[in-house]
Amino acid sequence: MLDITFVKSALPKSGALALLIAEDANSPTRAALDAADAATDGAISRALKVAEFTGKKGQLATILAPGAGLTRVVAVGLGKLADATVKSVEDAGGTAVAALGRDATAALATCGLTGAQAASAALGAALRRYRFDRYRTKEKAEDKPKLVKLSVLTDELARAKAGWVDGRAVAEGVFLARDLVSEPPNVLHPVEMAERCKKLTALGLKVEVLGPKDMLKLGFGALMGVAQGSTAEPRMVVMTWNGAGPKSKAKPLAFIGKGVTFDTGGISIKPAGGMEEMKFDMAGAGAVIGLMAALAGRKAKVDVVGLVGLVENMPSGNAQRPGDVVTSYSGQTIEVINTDAEGRLVLADVLWYCQQKFDPRFMVDLATLTGAMIVALGHEYAGFFANDDAISDQLHEAGKSSGELAWRMPLSEGYEKAIKSDIADMKNVGGRPAGAITAAAFIQRFVNGKPWAHLDIAGTAWAYSDQPTVPKGATGWGVRLLDRMVADNFEK
């Protein structure tokens, strides 16, 4: 994690300086620019003029060695100050950090912004600076990013510092999710993933791990059917955060994640090309684990349970076959037509367990569930399904403020016939049309009427190119969205 400190606005004497500048003429965000410009005899304003930098949103200009001991000045446009959102300020912080270059320390000037906005800029900067370095043993020093320390210059020191206490905890949660998704599938099998969950007890979470014996005894026929083809043992992990205090009588909120540590497709095997991407098929579980870390890290005043179903989907002599019928924990039987539609089988048992055991206020599940979701919405929005309008509104709003956008998709009686089986209560695929919707229709049969939403994050769990606050790779998508949803609706 980038080492971030906040200091009263003052021009640094050396190193790199990033300036967040609004488009408005005479905006107070120009104070640091004016100071640096005076110290460099107008070199910065001359360069910005040539670069046609006006402060438009997303604009970026870099000035090398302008004088006054500065190695470089990076100017990032914020757009009109009155239009600035949490996301646009975070994006500016991230864009600035990506342009800061080769100095180990740098300053980020947020003059003219509020303390809360300074904290948002810091969060954006931290999120963009993430890198998964565990398996690089030979990278040359000059190829490694150097920035380790960022001082954020702010007019509202106390508020900025306070905002960053929570921001930092959320960033830690996002990084945990990104680390888990980045890990190769030979390392991060279900047992190892459960071990990583156990480490969260250090944050004050209660962590309970169930193994195959427990799950067979409970009757998790759907999850265990997926797991049986792999020599890696499955796990279910239940993480509990009690932050509401002893007087609270409210039921917990519940988050459930699909944790397929590798999805070969099973006997309905996937094509070889690109199959390595399927290490990310535990991103739903990764997001739930990261969310629990974030909530505990910032001591959220709410009771929450996080459950993840962890399996590996492999073909083998012991793998389940197309045509098998399994009995889920709910008692409902499922004809497995395609062993590659495994995520819904895992979620079926974990969701049923969750509502039985915790009677939660609501359940939200996250899963890299269908390629069809990517066809529908691409990589900009995740799609979600909900049986409850209040949850739907909360997700949509939290999406806008966190920048992790989510769009509601329909659930409707008409889709049910697609998953009708000739010999069991349902089958696990509904054919090509509306593949993301029929998958959601399947999952809905295991929520037992509880308020529920299902987020299909197949398109958003991985970034194929750099974004302002997300470097290429695992995004940790969902941690920020759900942290916002909880903070804005359930901690008041």
Give the footprint of ligand BES on this chain (CB under 6 A).
263, 281, 338, 340-343, 368-372, 429, 435, 458
Evaluated on CA atoms 320, 324, 327, 330, the torsion sign reads: positive
Rounded alpha-carbon distances, angstroms, from residue 99 to 48, 59, 145, 159, 487:
15, 12, 11, 26, 32
Residue 145: count of CB within 10 angstroms of its CB: 16
In this structure, are residues 342 and 313 in contact, taking their beta carbons and an 8 Å threshold? yes
**If binding is defined by CB under 5 A, does position 312 make contact with Mn ion?**
no
Q: Return the one option of Mn ion, Zn ion, ligand BES, none that residue 458 interacts with (CB less than 5 to 8 A, by type).
A: ligand BES
Please tell me which residue in 344, 427, 445, 484 is annotated as part of the active site: 344
By CB under 5 A, the residues from 430 to 469 that bind Zn ion are none
- Is 270 among the catalytic positions? yes
Q: Binding of Zn ion at residue 163 (CB under 5 A)?
A: no
Choose, by CB under 5 A, the member of 37, 90, 179, 281 that binds Zn ion.
281
Indicate the residue among 79 and 309 with the shorter CB distance to ligand BES. Answer: 309
Rounded CA-CA distance 244/251 in Å is: 10
Of 112, 266, 343, 471, the one binding Zn ion by CB under 5 A = 343
Binding residue for Zn ion (CB under 5 A) from 179, 263, 324, 349? 263
Write the DSSP assignment of 234-303 as a string of letters.
PEEEEEEEE-S-TT--PPPEEEEEEEEEEE--TTSPPPSTTGGGGGGGGHHHHHHHHHHHHHHHTT-SSE
By beta carbon distance, the residue nearest Mn ion is: 340
Whole-number minimum distance, CB 409 to ligand BES, in Å? 15
Q: Which residue is nearest to ligand BES (CB)?
A: 371
Whole-number minimum distance, CB 458 to Zn ion, in Å?
9
Task: Report d(CA 340, CA 322) in Å as an integer.
Answer: 9
Whole-angstrom distance, CA of residue 274 vs CA of residue 153: 44
Interaction partner, residue 371 (Mn ion, ligand BES, Zn ion, none; CB < 5-8 Å by kind)? ligand BES
Under the binding rule (CB under 5 A), the answer on residue 483 touching Mn ion is no
Closest approach of Cβ 342 to Mn ion, in Å? 5
Specify the stretch interacting with Mn ion by CB under 5 A; choose among 250-258, 260-268, 322-330, 404-412. Answer: 260-268
Taking the C-alpha atoms of residue 263 and residue 281, their distance in angstroms, rounded to an integer, is: 6
Which is nearer to Zn ion, 96 or 256 (by Cβ)?
256
Looking at the DSSP bridge assignments, the partners of residue 400 are none
Q: Tokens standing for 400?
A: 């806008």
> Is the sign of the CA dihedral 340, 343, 348, 349 positive or negative?
positive
User: Which CB atom, from 304 or from 443, has the smaller least distance to Zn ion?
Assistant: 443
Closer of 309 and 343 to Zn ion (Cβ)? 343
Whole-angstrom distance, CA of residue 18 vs CA of residue 23: 16
Q: Which two tokens stand for residue 399?
A: 């999406």
Q: Which does 429 bind (CB under 5 to 8 A by kind): ligand BES, Zn ion, Mn ion, none?
A: ligand BES
Q: Which does 330 bind (CB under 5 to 8 A by kind): Mn ion, ligand BES, Zn ion, none?
A: none
56 alpha-carbon distance from chain centroid: 28
Does residue 66 sit in helix, strand or coil? strand
Backbone angles phi, psi at 145, to 5 degrees: -65, 140
Least Å from the CB of residue 264 to Mn ion = 8
User: Catalytic: which of 46, 159, 196, 270?
Assistant: 270
Instruction: Return residues touching Mn ion (CB under 5 A).
Output: 263, 340, 342
Instruction: Return residues touching Zn ion (CB under 5 A).
Output: 260, 263, 281, 343
Residues with active-site annotation: 270, 344
